[in-house]
A = this chain, B = another copy of it.
Amino acid sequence: MKIAVLGTGMVGRAIAHRLSTLGHDVVIGTRDVEQTLARTEPDWLGNEPFAQWQQTHPAVRLVSFADAGAYGEIVVNATRGAASLAAVEAAGAANLAGKVLLDAALPLDMSQGMPPLLSVVNTDSLGEQIQRAVPEARVVKSLNTMLADVMVDPAHVPGHHNVFVAGDDAEAKATVTGLLREIGWPEDAILDLGGIRGARGTEMYSALLFAVSDALGTYDFNVAIVRK
């Protein structure tokens, strides 16, 4: 399947690489291809420049957001939250019409340092904002509750733990659930939170995620819902 991943950071690379190894035809979208390829310094998280990463991942092509939006049959938003609305709009509402848009981003506000605040919270969510920005896309919020290593390899954390899906279109959620199953998520680990409003829950959980990661000194964990 043709899949376009928006975002050249750690999350975008991890998802693009994983989907590519599963046999999908994957492109990564960026705001300015030349600028992205011209970078020679590691990013603020210490990830190697994209041009260097691409040498070891030649199957994944770098294209503009607009070309990514046109190319992907499924589009994944893996940009940072502050850039997500612009990225999705650049991918093109018309390009995205009818398509599944998996939104894996968090609306982090780093202006006060760590731990981050959220730039949208409580009465709205980034998932809902994106759905309103591209109303004909079928947005599914997922994967935004964990480190990229866990997103693309659930076995990175042992035993039972969860990934959530939230979106207004049941068929789109089934498509995303299928992708998650391909990645290795067990069926009973995928918890459907209903409509896109459920994005509030998974985005707001990130306040607990950052507090826990501070306490444990690692992001190598995931959340589980344990039933009676």
Chain A interface (Cβ < 8 Å from any Cβ of B): 117-118, 121-123, 156-161, 164, 166, 191-194, 197-198, 200-202, 204-205, 207-212, 214-216, 218, 220-228
Contact = CB atoms under 8 A, between A and B. Distances in A.
Most buried by B among A123, A191, A212, A221: A212
B159 A226 contact: yes
14 contacts: A117-B122, A122-B122, A157-B226, A161-B224, A192-B215, A193-B212, A198-B215, A202-B211, A204-B207, A204-B208, A205-B207, A221-B225, A221-B228, A222-B225
Q: How many copies are assembled?
A: 2
Given A166-B211, A198-B215, 18 more contacts: A117-B122, A121-B204, A158-B226, A192-B215, A193-B211, A193-B214, A194-B211, A197-B211, A201-B209, A201-B210, A201-B211, A202-B211, A205-B207, A212-B225, A221-B225, A221-B227, A222-B226, A223-B224
Contacts of A193: 211-212, 214-215
Contacts of A223: 223-226
Nearest to A121: B122
